Structure 1
Amino acid sequence: MRKVAAIVIATTLIPLGVVATPASAAPRASWNTDEKCVQKDWDGRRIPTRVGNSELGWRHLSGPHNIKTCKLIDAALDGKPDKWSDQHRNLEYWGSAIHNGRQVDFVVKVRYAKKTDDDRYTAPGRKGKIGVITAYCRGVTKCPSWVN
Structure 2
Amino acid sequence: MLELPRSASAAPWWNKKERCSSVDPEGREIPTRIGNAELGWNHFSGRHNIRKCDLVNIPLGGQVDKKDGANLEYYGYVTNRAHGTVKIVVKARYARKTDDGRYDAGSGKKIGVITAYCKGMQKCPNWVNQ
Q: Which amino acid aligns with 2:120?
A: G
1:81 alignment partner in structure 2 = 64
Deviation at 1:146, TM superposition (A): 1.6
Is 1:132–2:124 an aligned residue pair?
no
Structure 1 or 2: larger helix share?
2
Deviation at 1:26, TM superposition (A): 3.2
Q: Which amino acid aligns with 2:122?
A: T
Give me the identity figure in percent. 52
User: Pairwise CA RMSD of aligned residues?
Assistant: 1.6
Query: Structure 2 length as normaliser, TM-score?
Result: 0.90
Structure number with greater Rg is: 1
Unaligned runs of 5+ in 2: none
Select which of 19, 22, 43 maps to 1:39: 22
1:105 alignment partner in structure 2 = 87
Q: Which amino acid aligns with 2:103?
A: Y
Deviation at 1:140, TM superposition (A): 1.4
Distance 1:121 1:18 in 2: 21
Select which of 36, 43, 47 maps to 1:60: 43
Equivalent pairs counted in the alignment come to 125
Runs of 4+ off more than 3 Å: none
CA contact (8 A) 1:34 1:51 kept: yes
Query: Structure 1 length as normaliser, TM-score?
Result: 0.80
Distance 1:37 1:140 in 2: 24
Unaligned runs of 5+ in 1: 1-16
2:102 alignment partner in structure 1 = 120
Distance 2:9 2:38 in 1: 15
1:13 alignment partner in structure 2 = none
CA contact (8 A) 1:26 1:119 kept: no
Is 1:48–2:31 an aligned residue pair?
yes
Deviations 1:81-105 (A, max 9, x none): 100102xx00000111111150001
